[in-house]
Amino acid sequence: SQKIEQNSEALNIQEGKTATLTCNYTNYSPAYLQWYRQDPGRGPVFLLLIRENEKEKRKERLKVTFDTTLKQSLFHITASQPADSATYLCALSGGGADGLTFGKGTHLIIQP
Amino acid sequence: SAVISQKPSRDICQRGTSLTIQCQVDSQVTMMFWYRQQPGQSLTLIATANQGSEATYESGFVIDKFPISRPNLTFSTLTVSNMSPEDSSIYLCSVADGSGYTFGSGTRLTVV
């Protein structure tokens, strides 16, 4: 069955450093990989989408890489800030009008 | 991007009763998606709701337990029927929105 793995442990990063989160998947050939941010008591908020034929995507302080051979995506937040503290979710879809398959998320804590 | 109004935001219900969750979108959308997020778990897709046709349910979810209505292109409801404590979760609706998906703020359901 399809499986998405994200760091289950909380990730503590010092303010100003780069936070790197990992998403690995098995038994899936996604057309798209997406990253979301979820704060307590809120729904996920879309951050970035990367297609299967793309290697890297950037948006302001965010960068996503996608390696379909390794079946892995890395999500980077540069110059991290305490306001970046949240749970970050990796999600896959086959494209078209599909719903998403989510990982459990990684809880990121940026220490001032 | 689309704005989704989801209600109720939370509820405490007696076992054996039913709860209907509503999602209103500020624009017309073809498909709406319903997810469940159990404590400490990832979001799991329950079903995809098309206007004018029956919802499509994912493996492990059935219409009798989670009936869905989609009367028009801006509105959908999910009912959690004959509830048990195992149904205690956060339920979220979502729509495809440009590159990513927009989510409602969620309904936190506690069954006692």
Cβ(B42)–Cβ(A4) under 8 Å?
yes
pLDDT: which is higher, A94 or B58: B58
Task: Name residue, tokens 């969620």.
Answer: B106
3-class SS of residue A5: strand
- Cβ distance of A34 and B101 shorter than 8 Å: yes
Phi, psi at B87, each rounded to 5°: -85, -5
Q: Kindly tell me the sign of the dihedral angle through the C-alpha atoms of B50, B53, B54, B57.
A: negative
Helices and strands, number each (H, E), in chain A: 0, 11
Q: What is the DSSP string of A37-76?
A: EE-TTS--EEEEEEETT-SEEEETTEEEEEETTTTEEEEE
Q: Distance, in angstroms, between A32 CA and closest chain B CA? A: 10
Cβ(A71)–Cβ(A63) under 8 Å?
no
- DSSP category for residue B55: P
**pLDDT tens, residue by residue, B86-95:** 999 999 999 9
Task: Name residue, tokens 């409801």.
Answer: B77
Q: Distance, in angstroms, between A66 CA and closest chain B CA? A: 16
Element (H, E) at A101: strand A101-102
Q: List the pLDDT tens digit at each of the 112 positions of chain A.
A: 778 999 878 999 999 999 999 999 998 888 899 999 999 989 999 999 999 999 999 999 999 999 999 999 999 999 999 999 999 999 999 877 789 999 999 999 999 9
Kindly provide the residue ranges of all beta strands, DSSP E only, lying in B1-74, ordered along the sequence.
4-7, 10-13, 19-25, 31-37, 43-50, 56-57, 68-72
**pLDDT tens, residue by residue, B94-109:** 999 887 999 999 999 9
Q: Which residues pair with B107 in a beta bridge?
A: B91
3-class SS of residue A33: strand
Smallest Cβ–Cβ distance between A34 and the set B41, B42, B100 belongs to: B100
- Name the nearest CA neighbour of A102 among A40, A23, A48, A17: A23
Smallest Cβ–Cβ distance between B101 and the set A42, A46, A105 belongs to: A46
